[in-house]
Amino acid sequence: DTEVTQTPKHLVMGMTNKKSLKCEQHMGHRAMYWYKQKAKKPPELMFVYSYEKLSINESVPSRFSPECPNSSLLNLHLHALQPEDSALYLCASSPASGASSYEQYFGPGTRLTVT
């Protein structure tokens, strides 16, 4: 099973709302990632968790707050977003030790629109 699931599939929120994106994997991977993808562009890395600890924050604004409550789940809490934050948010997972290539498996994404 190489499935990463994400909910919701679509989200529309106002600039004063608080919402959360959820990601789940059951591949036993201990590294999980959040990416942001704008139309016709490659994904941009936002955060990396390895063994439930934040390993990389790519200078993401504090209105995005990641959380990794356990080895299977990854959340992204959103607050006071701007219209330019509208994008496809992708979650991915990979092994975190003992692998040959550490390839990442992506979820289907959450299409976020900020109004």
Partner 1 sequence: GDSVTQMEGPVTLSEEAFLTINCTYTATGYPSLFWYVQYPGEGLQLLLKATKADDKGSNKGFEATYRKETTSFHLEKGSVQVSDSAVYFCALIKIFNAGGTSYGKLTFGQGTILTVHP
Which string of x and - marks every residue 60-99 that binds partner 1 (by CB under 8 A)? ----------------------------x-x-x-xxxx-x
For the segment 96-115, give every residue that binds partner 1 (CB under 8 A): 96-97, 99-109
* Stretch of residues binding partner 1 (CB under 8 A), selected from 11-19, 44-52, 60-68, 75-83: 44-52
Cβ atoms of residues 50 and 99 within 8 Å = no
3 binds partner 1 (CB under 8 A): no
Task: Give me the DSSP letters along 41-55.
Answer: S--EEEEEEETTEEE
Adjacent-strand bridge partners of 74: 23
Cβ atoms of residues 35 and 43 within 8 Å = yes
